[in-house]
Homo-oligomer: A and B are copies of this chain.
Amino acid sequence: MTFALLARLFLNFKIKLQMDQAVNEFNDYRSKMNERIMAGDNLVMKRLFNLDSNTYSDGALSVKTKEMLGLVASMVLRCDDCIKYHLQKCYENKVTKEEVFEVFAIANIVGGTIVIPHLRRAVEFWEQLET
């Protein structure tokens, strides 16, 4: 019994590590390549990156609302990496599971069943954030 408990703890710990790894790998590649893009020294790209960050800052709408808007836009346009990015931001800004599923529902109704494969990967990533 003690052994079973230990085995289970170990298994949970291993799953947790793998999940963190999935999130970390995504973030690491993202950061590394953003640096490579900046190194290209193209003024338009630099300013677009800058503008992109400003878009989601607190204003008439809260950061939480804006991140949900970014998420639904990314889902209907079917951009997996954009979805992951905004899922993280939603998670950090206390969007609940019930709320995020209502965002998913709107995306799938507006964008149709071709959004479903992206939803599968989104749900998987959300569960990795939650663990």
Contacts and interface: CB of A to CB of B under 8 A. Distances in A.
B73 A111 contact: yes
A65 interface: yes
A117 B70 CA distance: 15
Interface stretch (A3-11, A16-24, A26-34): A26-34
Contact of A103 (B69, B75, B78): B69
A75 to B, nearest CB: 8
Contacts of A51: 44, 47-48, 51, 109
A72 interface: yes
Contacts of A41: 101
A55 B107 CA distance: 10
A111 B76 CA distance: 10
Interface string A40-51: 111111011001
Contacts of A108: 44-45, 48, 112
Interface of A: 29-30, 33-34, 36-37, 40-45, 47-48, 51-52, 54-56, 59-61, 65-66, 68-70, 72-82, 96-99, 101-117, 119-121, 123-124, 127
Minimum-distance CB pairs A-B, first 6: A112-B112, A33-B120, A81-B117, A44-B105, A60-B98, A42-B101
